[in-house]
Amino acid sequence: MSELQARGDGGAAQMNPNEDGFMMPGRERMDLPIIPQMLCGIIGNPLGHSLSPVLHNWAFREVGVAGTYMAWPMAPESLDDFMAAVLTLPIWGVSVTIPHKTGIMKFCEELSGRCRAAGAVNTLHWKKGLLCGENTDVQGFLAPLAEIGIKPASALILGAGGAARAVIAGLREWGVRSIHVANRTPEAARTLCNHMRCQGVAWEERTGVQAELLVNATPLGMLGERQDATPWPVESFTRGQIVYDLIYNPIDTRFLVEARQAGCAVIPGLEMFLHQAAAQFRLWTDEELPLDGARRLVKQFLGLT
């Protein structure tokens, strides 16, 4: 893409020209300076572990889009002010991570079916002048399973946050009926199960659930103070079980290392991260994110190549 152009066909954003002819996303903006680049970013708290800026800025360069992707650390009490800025400034798209995936829904003028199914938004984009919410976590979660030809009949999800919602929505989309949820905070698990028609299980009893697919949707194992933690006792893995960790930094979490040693098939969170990012990039630019190069980039950034 050599220049940013108007789209009225459901592409990355509906554009409105200012008096200088530069095309801006969303509604008419008044008295704004010319912005020579597509501006996107990620909001969440914390954001120190996020590789989204590295990935998307690289992708902009790779496909020839004049774009910048920033990290915007955002406490929940600042969300209203940030969304006022989104409606005023020429911001093309926003990645949304914890703790904002549910709170941001009220600001969206249009929600996709996947957002409604998951009850969470991880992406903001413009379409025909409307601020739209999408959940690319759903497609990001399903893509690695589809690539290896696995459609599980049963699943146990550890965790009850926004990522767990996307996992359940994706499994429901595939027609998986047996879905159990275990969370360290019982109230959160009950709320999620009531909303998404799942079976809750007490955290202390989670290892008693026999499931073909085991998913870590908790922060246990994430880079930082929880890196050495795992949500699953090593002795409770079942040989041949599919073990999927949504954490991508580090790529090889303790959860995955121990699952692999126990004879399980493992899927690292890097694959979900790449596929959900590719779906976001497509919404914002109408371009395909080069997945093979992106995978090499992230591994190199994490010191794995």
| Residue 162 counted as an annotated binding residue | yes
Instruction: Tell me the Cα Rg of the chain.
Output: 20
CA atoms within 13 A on the CB side of 267: 27
Residue 11 token pair: 């592409």
| Residue 8 counted as an annotated binding residue | no
The catalytic residue positions are 101
Helix ranges restricted to H, 175-268: 186-196, 254-261
| Residue 16 counted as an annotated binding residue | no
Q: Which letter, b or e, does each residue of 197-234 get, where b requires 16 or more Cβ atoms within 10 Å of its Cβ? A: ebebbeeeebbebebbbbbbbbbbbbeeeeeeebbbee
CA dihedral 118, 121, 124, 129 (to 10 degrees): 60
| Residue 210 counted as an annotated binding residue | no
| Residue 51 counted as an annotated binding residue | yes
Determine the Cα–Cα distance for residues 12 and 140; give it in Å rounded to an integer: 18
| Residue 159 counted as an annotated binding residue | yes
| Residue 129 counted as an annotated binding residue | no
Length of the chain: 305
| Residue 71 counted as an annotated binding residue | no
Residue 137 token pair: 């976590």
How many other CB atoms are found less than 10 A from the CB of residue 77? Answer: 7
Q: How far is CA 214 from the centre of its chain?
A: 19
| Residue 97 counted as an annotated binding residue | yes
Sequence ranges of the binding site for NADP(+) = 159-163, 246, 269
Sequence ranges of the binding site for shikimate = 50-52, 97, 122, 137, 248, 276
Sequence ranges of the binding site = 50-52, 97, 122, 137, 159-163, 246, 248, 269, 276
